[in-house]
Structure 1
C-alpha cells in the first residue's frame, strides 16, 4: 500500500465544500451509519418478520382453527296446490319447489377446532417461533457490527488520504530544492554532477505529477464512499473531525479478557443458542405426532332465503334452503403413519445436531478470531514504533545531505535517495497508524461490543 500512498505526497487540495457541509467524527460516523444503513434496515425487517411469526404462533394457541364460509345464490319458492298449513308442509306429498319464483338465498357455516391437549405441539411451536426472533436479533447485532467496522475503515481512509495530502508542500519543496542544487552545480561546472542527475530529478517530477491525479481521484472516491455509507444527499459535502492521523489510545488487556468478552457478547453465539433452542423445540413438535391429541370442535350452520318457504320444526325433516344448527363435542386426532412421524423426528434431531456442532465450531472460530485480532494489535504497535524511528532517521539523513550540499560536499544521488526515503517513510508512518487503528477497531469488534467503537 506504501507505493500507492506515496502518491498522496503530491496530491492536490481536497474537495470543495458544497452547499451543505456535514462534519463527523469517528463515533458520529458509526452512529449515523448504524441508524441509516439499508443493510441494517433489511436485517431489521427480518426481525420484524420473525416477531410477527412469533405473534402468530402465540395467537394460534386459542381459536386455533376458526373459519367461516358463506354461499350466496337463488332459492325457489313453494308450489302448494293443496293449500297445506305451513307447519304441516312436510306431510304433503304434492308439495313442490316453484322454480319460477326465485329469491335471494344465503348460507353461512362456522367451524372451530380448538386443541385442548397436544403433547407440547402448540407450546413448543410457540417456543420455536420465539427462538427465531432471537436468531434474527443476533443477525441484526452482527450486521450492525459489520457496518460499524466498515464505516470505521472508510473514515480512517479519508483521514489517511487527508494526512497524505498535507505532505504535498513538503514533497514539492524537497524535489524543487534538489533540482535547484543540481542546476546550481551544473552551472558551476562541478565534475560531481552531470546531465543524468538533472534528468533523474525531472523524471521524479513527472512521476509526482502522475501520482497527483491518481491520489486526488482516490481521495474523492473514499470521501464519496463514506458519504454514501452515511446516506448523505448528493449535494452534501463531508468533512472529518480528525485533521491529523493519530493512533487510537488503547490500554491492551490480556487475551483471556477479550476472549471472555467475545464468548459473552458475540452475536454469532447468540444466534447459535437461539438456533439450538428452536431446533430442540421442533424435535418435540415432531415427536408429539406419536400421541393422540384431544380436540374440542364446534360447527354452526345457518341458511335463509326471502322466498316463500317455512321452517319445519320436526327434527327429522330438513330444508336445505331454510335451516340452522349447532354441533359441539370432543374428539381425538392421531397421525397413523408412524413411519413418517419417525422420519420427521429423525430429521428434526439431525437439524438439532447440526446446530449444536455449529455452536462448537463457532466458539472455536470466535476464540481464534479474537486471538488473531489481539496479536495483530501488538504487531501493529511494534510496526508503528519502527516506522516512527525509521522516519526520524530519514529526516536526519536528509538534513545531513542538505548540510553537505551547503558545504559543496554533497552527492546528488545521495540527496535524491534521502529525499525519497524521507517521503516514503513519512507515508509509511501514516500507513502504520492507519493499520494500527483498524486493528484496534477489529479487536473491539471481535469481542462483539459496539460501545468501545463509539467511545472514540
Structure 2
C-alpha cells in the first residue's frame, strides 16, 4: 500500500463521521432542541392552562345546573287529616285533628328527595366581562413566556455547540504542539545520550515541563469537549449514549450585525417578549381592577328551581293549605338578585389590584430605560470583541511564525531550548486565547440577538 493511499484512508477515518452517528449543524441542532426541550413544553402547558382559565371565566355567563338528591327514611302515614276513622256525615261524629306527628304508629317509609335549579346570569355589572378580558391578556402573556424559553434554549444550544468546537480545536492544536515538544525532547535526549551538541540536562527539564503543561491543557480540553457534546445531546433530545457529530469542524467568528445601534434599540423595544408581556400584563391588570370594583355590585339572574319529595308509604294529603315535607313537589321560574357585600374586604382587594397595576407601570418605566441600555451594552461588547479578535488573530499568526522559525532553527542547531520553549508558550497562549475569544464573541453576538428580540 503506497503512501498516497495511506493518507486517503487516514483522512477518511479522521474527518468522516462513523456509521450510526448523527450529524447536526448549528441550525439543525437548534431546530431539534426547539422541538424537544421539555422546558418549552412546560411553558406551552402554562398557555393551555391560561386558555382554560379563560374558558372558566366565559363559562360563568352560561347556564348553571345544580341538583341535590338523597334517599332517607320518613315516618309512615295512613289516613288523612283526621286519621283513618270517618267523622261528620250522618252520625255527626266529631272530627278531631290528629296529633300523632312524632309517633311511629304507622311504621317507617323510604324517602326519596330531589332539589334542583337551572340558573342563567343576566347581568353581573362587568364581573364576567372583565375577568374574561384579563384571562385573554394572560394567554398572550404566557405565549411570550414560550418565546422567552425558546430564546433561552437557542442560547444554550449555541453555548454547547460553540463550546464543543472551541474545546475540540484547542485539543487538536495542543496535540500538535505537544507532538513538536516531544520531538524536540527526543532530540535533546539523543544528544545527551550521545554526548554530542550543546544540549544540557536543563534543556531537557524545560521541554519536559512544557510537554507536561501542554498535556494538562489537552486533558482539560478533552473534558470540556465531552461536557459540551453531552450537553448538546440533552438539549436536542438524544440519549447520552447516542453518538453525535457536529457538521462544523472549526469554530469561526459569527457575522458582525450590520444594523446600527439606534435601530437595534428600537427593534428591542418593539419585539422583545418582555415588552409584549408588559403590554399584555398592564391590560390584564386594568381589567382585574375593574373586575374587583364590580364585585361590589349585585348579580341579576333568571332560572327555574324546584323540588320533589316522595315517601311511598305515606298517604298523600291534597289539602293546599297543608304541606307535607315528605310528600310534595313544586317548580317555578324565578328572577333574582344576588348581592354579597363585604366593604372592607372588597375595598382591600381593589387596593391590591391597583397596587399591582402601579407596580407593573413602574416596571414598564424602568424597562423603557433599561432595555436600550442593555442593547447598547451588548452592542459595544460585540464591537470590542470583534476588534480584539482581529488583533488576536494577528498575534496568533505572528506567534506561530515565531514558533515554526524557532523550531526549525532548533532542529538545525541554531536555537537555544529556552527560546524554543518561550516561542512554544507564546504560541499556545495566543492561539488558545484567540479560540476563547472567538467563543466569547460568538456568544456575545447570540446575546445581542436575544436582547434585541430576535426570537424564533
The TM-score normalised by the length of structure 2 is 0.85
State the distance in 2 between where 1:325 and 1:84 align: 30
Equivalent residue for 2:65?
66
Of residues 107, 123, 131, the one that matches 1:125 is 131
Equivalent residue for 1:240?
246
CA contact (8 A) 2:168 2:221 kept: no
Q: CA deviation at 1:213?
A: 3.1
CA deviations on 1:60-97 (whole Å, 9 max, x unpaired) are: 1122x532111221234323352679xxxxx9734867
Q: CA deviation at 1:263?
A: 1.5
2:176 maps to 1:176: no
Structure 1 portions without partners, runs of 5+: 1-12, 86-90, 452-456
Equivalent residue for 1:93?
97
User: In the TM superposition, what are the counterparts of 1:124-163 in structure 2 within 5 Å?
Assistant: 124-163=130-169
2:253 alignment partner, SS class: coil
Relative to structure 1, the CA distance from residue 108 to residue 443 in structure 2 (aligned partners, 3 Å threshold; closer, same or farther) is same
Point out which structure has higher relative CO (alpha carbons under 8 A, 6+ apart).
1
Equivalent residue for 1:10?
none
Q: CA deviation at 1:201?
A: 0.5
2:210 maps to 1:217: no
CA deviations on 1:251-296 (whole Å, 9 max, x unpaired) are: 4211122222212221111221221111101111122244444333
CA contact (8 A) 1:68 1:111 kept: yes
2:331 maps to 1:332: no
1:243 alignment partner, SS class: coil
1:236 alignment partner, SS class: coil
2:22 alignment partner, SS class: strand
CA deviations on 1:371-392 (whole Å, 9 max, x unpaired) are: 1221121112112111110011
Equivalent residue for 1:23?
23
2:219 alignment partner, SS class: helix
Superposition RMSD on alpha carbons, in Å?
Answer: 2.8
Larger radius of gyration: 2
Structure 2 portions without partners, runs of 5+: 1-12, 88-94
Equivalent residue for 1:349?
354
Of residues 304, 307, 317, the one that matches 1:301 is 307
1:166 alignment partner, SS class: helix
Equivalent residue for 2:92?
none
Equivalent residue for 1:411?
416
2:423 alignment partner, SS class: helix
Of residues 373, 381, 397, the one that matches 1:376 is 381
Relative to structure 1, the CA distance from residue 373 to residue 329 in structure 2 (aligned partners, 3 Å threshold; closer, same or farther) is same
Equivalent residue for 1:5?
none
Relative to structure 1, the CA distance from residue 83 to residue 393 in structure 2 (aligned partners, 3 Å threshold; closer, same or farther) is same
State the distance in 1 between where 2:124 and 2:28 align: 52
Range 217-226 or range 434-443, more displaced: 217-226
Equivalent residue for 2:172?
166
CA contact (8 A) 1:255 1:371 kept: yes
Equivalent residue for 2:77?
78
CA contact (8 A) 1:20 1:235 kept: no
State the distance in 1 between where 2:320 and 2:452 align: 75
Equivalent residue for 2:34?
34
2:249 alignment partner, SS class: coil
CA contact (8 A) 2:77 2:106 kept: no
Relative to structure 1, the CA distance from residue 386 to residue 39 in structure 2 (aligned partners, 3 Å threshold; closer, same or farther) is same
